[in-house]
Every structure is written in C-alpha cells, then in structure tokens.
Structure 1
Amino acid sequence: MHFDVLVIGAGLSGLSAASLLAKRGLNVATIDKAYCPGGSCGAFKRGDAIFDQGSSMLFGWGEKGFNAHRFLFNCLEESITMIQHELLYCVHYDGRKVRFFPDIPRFIDEVSTLFPGQRESLVRFYGDMQTMYQHVIVENPSYTTPDEVDKKAALKSLLHHPLSYIRFLSYLNISAKTLLSKYFTDKAIFNFFDKLTSTYCYVTVEESPAILASVMFVDNHVGGSYYPAGSTLSLTGALEKVIEQNGSTMMAEREVVSILFNQGKPGGVLLDDGTVHTADQIIYSGTVWNLYGKLLPHNETTEQQRSWAQKQEPTYPSVVLYTLVDKDVVDELTLAVEMLVGRPDALDEQEVTAYIPSVDDRTICADDEHIILAIGPSFGSWDALDQKAYQQRKKQEIERLLAVLEKRFPSIREHLRHAELASPRTIQRFTLKNGGAVAGPKQKLGNHMFKRQHIRTDWDTLFCCGESTI
C-alpha cells in the first residue's frame, strides 16, 4: 500500500508525530513490533493490576513552564486527565529524606539541612537559573527542535533579554559541574546534583551539558510532575485514537526489517512478513544505532555515517522490577516517586527509583493492593547467557532489587503478591532499545544538542524523532 507518511515505531515520539500529521489530513501508517503501542510509555496487565512498562512520572503538563505535552494535546484537541503529584518526588540520600517541593524556596530549605553551609549559594544558584529560565524558556516558548528554529524568531527573542540569552548560550559547551563550581564550595553537594542529573538524563554533572542541566534544575519545580489517570497507556491510547479517528492506520505486531530506496531516496519499508509499503515521506522513531546499523541499506550509507552512529555512547542498561504487594506495605507518608540512593559518591546498582503510582491513582489495582516498580542500572553482561543461566540471573536480580526495596518497605517480602523482572534483554526485545539503554544515547558533552541525530536526515524524504535526536 502507498501512504503519505510511514512512521516507524509507535513509542511516544512516533505516535505524537503520526497523530499530528493525521490530524492535518495526511494518510499515515504507524508500524510497531509490539501488540500494544507506547514503547517505554506502554503498560501491561497481570490479573486486574495495570503496570507501567517504564515511564511513570511525566513532566510538561503544567500551566507554567515548558509544557510540551499540554501543547501537543491542545493541538490535537484531545482531553486527558492528569494527576499532579503534590511533591515532585523525594530522594533518600545519605540517611535522610529530601523532599522535592514545587516551591523552590521550600526545596532550598530542605536541601540546606544536608548542606547548611551552602544555603546562600543555593539561593543564588536557583535565583539565577530561575531568571534565565523565565527569560529564555517561559517568555519565548518554542516547541520546535533547535535545528529547526526560525533564525528571525530566535534573534527577536535574544534581543528581548540579551544577557540571559548570552548566559544560556555560554552553557552550551561547559559541563554542569563547571557551572556548579561557580556557586558552590562544598564538593559533597556535587554528589547530590549527580543524583538529579542521573535521574533526569542518566548522566553525571561532569558529563551533563550545563545548558541541559540548568533548564532541568528549574523546569520540574515550575511545571510539576504528573501521572496519567489509568496508567501511561492513557496517553498512548489517546494518540492512537486520534490517528485512527482521522482515517490513518496502526500496524501492530509488524517489524520493519529494511528501509527501501527509490531513485536514491527512502521511499518505503519491507516488513518481517515480507510485505512492502511505500510512502512520500518516512519518519523514524527509534535508536540511531538501529537506523544506520540495521534499517538503512549498507550501500546507501557512507562509512562516515555508520561510524558516527556507532560512536554514539548509550546510557547504561536498565532493569525493571514489577511488584504487586499488600496495601499495608506502603505507609501513609510514601510518595508516588521515591529515589533510593545507594552510595552518595558513586552510581551503583543500589541506586533505584521506586514508582508507586497507586499512591495517587487507586484505579490501577485493587483496594487492598499497591503497585511498586523499581527501575535501576544493571552493569553486568546479559548477552552471553544461555536460557538456564538467564533465568537464574533474573531470579538473582529480583532478590537483589527486593533487598534494596526492603530498606524502604521492610515488610515487602512477607506481603508480596507478584514479582517479575524486565532485564536489559527484555527491554530490547519489546522496545528495540539496544542493550536495554532506555534513554538512548547519553546527553553528554560531545554528544549533545547539534551533535545528535537531527530531525532532517541526509535524505529529504526521511525524518527522525525520539530520544536519539536533537
């Protein structure tokens, strides 16, 4: 069949692109390997309990700040119910519980209990970041990627607040650590900020570009964090509905094995069942490694292109433990998102983010139950294991992660109703994220902003979206 647009991948980015184009009247086909769309923003059921596959805390829904998701659903004229977390989340850090209040002065009070000598520096740092964020992001919201920004509009914004823009652009090629060094004298506070950048984008302050970190440190407080009522599947389901209601097509359980070229340009796809579909334009929502290492024919790419893609450094592989527990396991002070830090001075496998979405949404499991998801890094190799060794390794990981959760929820083992693990191999199998790297290429210096995959490729019929891109 022939379509106006073929979208490869039905994760959140692919579905967003497809729904916007379908809304504009184009004939779009969205192809995905999985039965249920969503990728990392999907969900599955065990009995009557609904588990988010990965994403369980979402930003960009607030009335203030950079509200990209709100903007998207407004464009689609699609309503969706979001539950706002009263607190963003909390971090169990060095024996203390640090609560992330939306109100930044109150958050500074909380952090100052850990670093009392840095209070004035915290006030100055967050004050400067808020001012810059207000001038650059809030007053001039842009939902266009940096490589697609209109130069005249950018110049107009720059002239409105030149000092803030110059400062913001000066952060492009320095690390978050360099930025923090201008404000803080206590080196221990860098370890704390490490935990924030590792939560937001899976990198340390030494790796993270200051231009990225400076926005993140403020944006989450201003915009808040949210959970979609009924699970994250509510989001992807709403996008799928827009696609189909506007006459476009969802192709589930079909994997693209190759992008086909016509007169030197991408013009179609070959699926795993042998069928061929063609289109005027193709949008790829997947990893840069799969694009250049698998889907684009070798004779249509250059050694330089393939080498560049291969050198993109992935974020660390992840494991996800899905548990269903008795309601009494979770105390009344538990937040929907809690980060459990192992060592303050290093990232190790003891660092786990616990998502308890049933704290805020009682519709996703029974009244006497809670859902606890534990997501964290996995540094050991999973590739060379045979089936028996693989299953044994999964059992060991379940035990390891339960031991981590047990420090926060002491009775979890005695009241465990269900537990299963997604290994890096599981994540790759269901989402095609290479090696289980859930966040794609690292957002690190030398691998950020304009050095990532652009929206436009070297072929004017192929576009890209998703976490591999700029």
Structure 2
Amino acid sequence: MPGSSSQTLDVIVIGSGIGGLVTATQLAAKGAQVLVLERYLIPGGSAGYFERNGYRFDVGASMIFGFGRRGTTNLLTRALEAVNVRLETLPDPVQIHYHLPNQLELKVHRDYKQFINELSAKFPHEREGIRRFYDECWKVFNCLNAMELLSLEEPRYLTRVFFQHPFACLGLVKYLPQNVGDIARQHIKDPELLKFIDIECYCWSVVPAEMTPMINAGMVFSDRHYGGINYPKGGVGQIAQKLVEGLEKAGGHIEYQARVTQILLENGKAVGVQLANGQTYRAKRIVSNATRWDTFENLLPAEQMPAREKKWQQRYQKSPSFLSLHLGVKSEVLSPKTECHHILLEDWAKMEEPYGTIFVSIPTLLDPSLAPEGHHIVHAFTPSWMEDWQNLSPTAYEQQKEAKANEIIHRLEKIFPGLDAGLDYQEVGTPRTHRRFLGRKDGTYGPIPQRKLLGLLGMPFNRTAISGLYCVGDSTFPGQGLNAVAFSGFACSHRIAVDLGL
C-alpha cells in the first residue's frame, strides 16, 4: 500500500500535471506500482480548474490539441484510451481569431484551405510563399504522424522506427536543428506577414519564429487542421480527472496535499522522496513533473547541481508568467458570431513585452454548462513577470491587480464592446498566484531559449544526470503545451518501462 513508507514502489511521480499523469498512467497500465504525489487538492496543475459563483474556470488556456481520432499525434486521446477511460470533446471550428496591428483581422479556420485562402487574400503577393511555408510544416507533421511517438533515448525504439519509417525519420532529422524563422524567410519576404508568423509561434511558444523549433511548429500548425482543436466537455480539468480515474483503475494511486520537499539520494542515486510533513516514500525510479529549476534548485541540493543542468540553464531561461483575468459576463456582451479564442495586439513592437499581447478564451461558447444560464466565461491572460509583483504590501498588491485588470478590460472593449458594463464576476491571478498554486518557479510558463538555438537539439530528454531520476513536462523535449507534455509523458514512461524491464 503506498501509505506505507517502508515499501519500495516501482515509480513515484512528483506532481500531477498532464506530463506526470501520462507517465503514471502509462506505467500503471504496464503493471508498475505507481504513486503520484500532488501538493494541491486536485490534479492537473496548469490544466486544472476552480469553481466560483456557478462558474467553472480553467486555470490555463482552453485551446487543446491532441484529441483527434486518427494518426499518432493524438496523444491525449491515446493516453486516456490506454487506461480505458473516455472523455467527450467538442470541436472548435476556428483555432484563433487574430486582432492585429494595421486592422489585420484574420481567423485560423479548422479547414486548411479556408485558412490559406483567407491569409492569401490579406497578402495576395505572397500567395505562393504562404503555401510553400505551411506545406513545409505539413512535411514535419506527416513525418511525426507516421510513427509511434515514444522515447528518443531508447536505442531499440529508434532502430525499430527507422526501419519501419526510414523516410519519415530522415525528414525529421533535417528539421531538428532548424527554427521556424529560418524556414519562413526562405519563402516569405513581406515584413508584416513575417510578423504574423512570429505571433503564430508566440501564441504557444512565447518566443518569435526565429527562436521557435520547426518540429514544434510542424505539429501545431498542421494538427489544428488535421486533428483539430477540441474542448473537453466539462472543462479542461476533466482531462486530469479522467487520467486519475484511469490511473486508479490500473492499480496506481494518487495522494493530494502531499508536498514533496526533497528528493532522497543514496550514493548519488535517487531512491525516494520526503514530504513537508516528514513522511518518506521509496521507489526504484523517481519522476519530477516540477520545472527543472524547482527540481534541481529546491528538491535537490542547489550547490550539487550536475554540470549538465548548469549548461541547460545557460541555454534556457524561465519564460514570463501570466496576469489572468477570470471573468463572468452577461451573454449579450458577445455577438452571435464570436469565436472561442482571440489574440489582441495593437503594436507589433510590443508583442514580447509584458502585457503586450492579450490571449482570450471563451470556453462557454463551446460548453455553456460551465457558467450560469445567460452568462459566459471570458478568460483573458497576458504575459507578466514576477518582478512586477514582488515587495508589495497587501493593499498595494490588490490595487495593482485592480489597475492592471481595468487596463486589460479597457483594451478588450475594442473587440467586445460593453464588456465592462456586462461584468458579473471577476477574479485576477498574478505570477504570485501561479507560483503559489502551481508550485512553479516564479510562476513561469516554461523554458524559453536565452538566445537563438539549433531547433530542438538543446532540449533535454527525460533522463537526468542523477541515476534513477527522470524529468517530465514542459522542461523536457518537446516543450510547452498539453500535447507536447503528453508526448514527454509517453517518452518518459517508455524509457522507465525499458529500464525496469516491464
């Protein structure tokens, strides 16, 4: 029984984000004894939820990839099926409605031809370049979608996949060291269109095209048309809830309010964990779903950080966190043709600045059950650094939250006239909120390159320099986003299963 600290389990997973839960469920399905330790009251981390006044708010965004029904890149569908659970999803016909400088209004339709035609109509002189650029993204996606996505650290898997899909593998090798900006500039010359490619990347990678790996873009820019954006009925939090249900069906366990404070080492090998209440658990393998900064600076002695991790921290830095507005609004505020996801940017020069780009999710347009009748949820969020919120008195902190929220709402009035007058509920989250509830260093969204790197080649895989310790989640290959961390979970569980002989 996991409650006994004397028993040695097969695997302990620290944190129940989607990467950690996919790792845990995959291993439990293979017969491993798995225990997940979650510091909060519910699972999911950034993919969690909270309820207020009849509203069910998603903690993070509601633009979800990975729920397609075909191919191999539908990783969330596959993760749930592996533990015999199902989740109803609702298709979104438009990924994003962009509201950009110079009155550039554009929708990324689920229908690929419709999107390409709309974009080409805005930039008719770049019609051929647009087609060639997005066709290259499809080449990457088709290579990924031809093979089972498991651990790139497992030689037998690599050998098997290469012999099964030699051309797909060679296609991916070509793109591994490349970034989106390099490919885009080969086909496109218009500076405003290149800015559009920048925000196409920035909206999920938090860096412009020249620093976004082409492998990731190939997945995102194509899967939105192939598998599509599909919202889980009942809210994003249902993904983690269903994975936990599947974990327990498969014989695994999860403990809540179990905050790990230390990874225990013996002779340089990870052998267990200690909780804030002093309780210890032991396992043959330890998986950290915390960020790499939290793992190697807080859960392990920072002064003993392995050289490999120091090198990684020189290449990557923490991305900003977010200022989040969770709003309940009267339904008449939104016109009948409103799309679920929006991005607002008034000045290209401010795209990467704090509060420059505003992201909006309105999940009740897909699932009205998340709000009281006659109301919608508007979740608006914008990048914000922890430094802006430190060393404030409680009063000053609340005043700053109110002031920033008013600024964001005023800007959103441009696309949602009457938003302020139609407010029914408002809750504001800051980087401090994200750090407190999600346990993420400085509330960060994940790692971003310190400088231009060679595509994905700098991203670490799941094994670490410490024997018996693995990392999973957005600090590992292939990076940020729910489908990406699910990929990380599949890879991590595969590598551990091989190591344990399962």
Determine the C-alpha separation between the residues in 1 that align with 2:448 and 2:134: 28
**1:465 matched residue in structure 2:** 472
Q: Is the 8 A contact 1:209 1:444 kept in 2?
A: no
Unaligned runs of 5+ in 1: none
- Residues 9 and 411 of structure 1: CA distance in aligned 2, closer, same or farther (over 3 Å): same
Question: For 1:183-202, what aligned pairs fall within 5 Å after superposition?
Answer: 183-202=187-206
1:329 aligns with 2:302: no
1:389 aligns with 2:393: no
**2:486 matched residue in structure 1:** none
Q: Is the 8 A contact 2:63 2:229 kept in 1?
A: yes
**2:356 matched residue in structure 1:** 350
**2:344 matched residue in structure 1:** 340
TM-score normalized with structure 1 length: 0.93
Determine the C-alpha separation between the residues in 2 that align with 1:258 and 1:223: 40
| Residue deviations 1:28-74 (CA, integer Å, cap 9, x gap) | 21111111111010000002210001131110111245211112122
**1:30 matched residue in structure 2:** 36
Which of 230, 235, 251 is the aligned partner of 1:231? 235
Q: Shift of residue 338 of structure 1?
A: 1.3
- Residues 132 and 255 of structure 1: CA distance in aligned 2, closer, same or farther (over 3 Å): closer
**1:425 matched residue in structure 2:** 432
1:72 aligns with 2:76: no
> Which one-letter code corresponds to 2:369 in the other structure?
T
Determine the C-alpha separation between the residues in 2 that align with 1:50 and 1:35: 16
Which of 242, 256, 267 is the aligned partner of 2:271? 267
- Residues 263 and 421 of structure 1: CA distance in aligned 2, closer, same or farther (over 3 Å): same
1:83 aligns with 2:90: yes
**2:185 matched residue in structure 1:** 181
Determine the C-alpha separation between the residues in 2 that align with 1:13 and 1:187: 37
> Partner of 1:293: helix, strand, or coil?
helix
- Residues 311 and 289 of structure 1: CA distance in aligned 2, closer, same or farther (over 3 Å): farther
- Residues 448 and 257 of structure 1: CA distance in aligned 2, closer, same or farther (over 3 Å): farther
Q: Shift of residue 172 of structure 1?
A: 2.7
- Residues 185 and 109 of structure 1: CA distance in aligned 2, closer, same or farther (over 3 Å): same
- Residues 137 and 308 of structure 1: CA distance in aligned 2, closer, same or farther (over 3 Å): closer
Question: For 1:294-309, what aligned pairs fall within 5 Å after superposition?
Answer: 294-298=298-302, 301-302=305-306, 305-306=309-310, 308-309=312-313
Determine the C-alpha separation between the residues in 2 that align with 1:384 and 1:69: 40
Determine the C-alpha separation between the residues in 1 that align with 2:139 and 2:212: 21
Which of 125, 132, 140 is the aligned partner of 1:124? 132
> Partner of 1:366: helix, strand, or coil?
coil
Q: Is the 8 A contact 1:56 1:357 kept in 2?
A: yes
Determine the C-alpha separation between the residues in 1 that align with 2:393 and 2:338: 39
CA RMSD of aligned residues (A): 2.2
Determine the C-alpha separation between the residues in 1 that align with 2:248 and 2:158: 36
Which of 49, 61, 66 is the aligned partner of 2:55? 49
> Partner of 1:29: helix, strand, or coil?
strand
> Which one-letter code corresponds to 1:203 in the other structure?
V
Q: Is the 8 A contact 2:291 2:446 kept in 1?
A: no
Q: Is the 8 A contact 2:177 2:456 kept in 1?
A: no
Q: Shift of residue 178 of structure 1?
A: 1.5
Q: Is the 8 A contact 1:293 1:306 kept in 2?
A: no
Q: Shift of residue 444 of structure 1?
A: 7.0
Q: Is the 8 A contact 1:289 1:310 kept in 2?
A: no
1:137 aligns with 2:141: no
1:409 aligns with 2:416: yes
- Residues 27 and 369 of structure 1: CA distance in aligned 2, closer, same or farther (over 3 Å): same
Q: Is the 8 A contact 1:326 1:369 kept in 2?
A: yes
Determine the C-alpha separation between the residues in 2 that align with 1:443 and 1:243: 37
- Residues 47 and 403 of structure 1: CA distance in aligned 2, closer, same or farther (over 3 Å): same
Determine the C-alpha separation between the residues in 1 that align with 2:52 and 2:27: 34
Q: Is the 8 A contact 2:11 2:283 kept in 1?
A: yes
- Residues 161 and 443 of structure 1: CA distance in aligned 2, closer, same or farther (over 3 Å): farther
> Which one-letter code corresponds to 1:55 in the other structure?
A
> Partner of 2:187: helix, strand, or coil?
coil
Q: Shift of residue 345 of structure 1?
A: 4.3
- Residues 221 and 11 of structure 1: CA distance in aligned 2, closer, same or farther (over 3 Å): same
Which of 437, 444, 448 is the aligned partner of 2:444? 437
| Residue deviations 1:280-307 (CA, integer Å, cap 9, x gap) | 2111111010111111134654456346
Unaligned runs of 5+ in 2: 478-502
Q: Shift of residue 147 of structure 1?
A: 3.2
Segment drifting more, 216-225 vs 380-389: 380-389
Determine the C-alpha separation between the residues in 1 that align with 2:454 and 2:53: 43
1:18 aligns with 2:2: no
Segment drifting more, 387-396 vs 121-130: 121-130
Aligned length: 465
| Residue deviations 1:414-454 (CA, integer Å, cap 9, x gap) | 11111111101111111122222223444974385342232
Segment drifting more, 452-461 vs 363-372: 452-461
Determine the C-alpha separation between the residues in 2 that align with 1:248 and 1:127: 43
**1:204 matched residue in structure 2:** 208
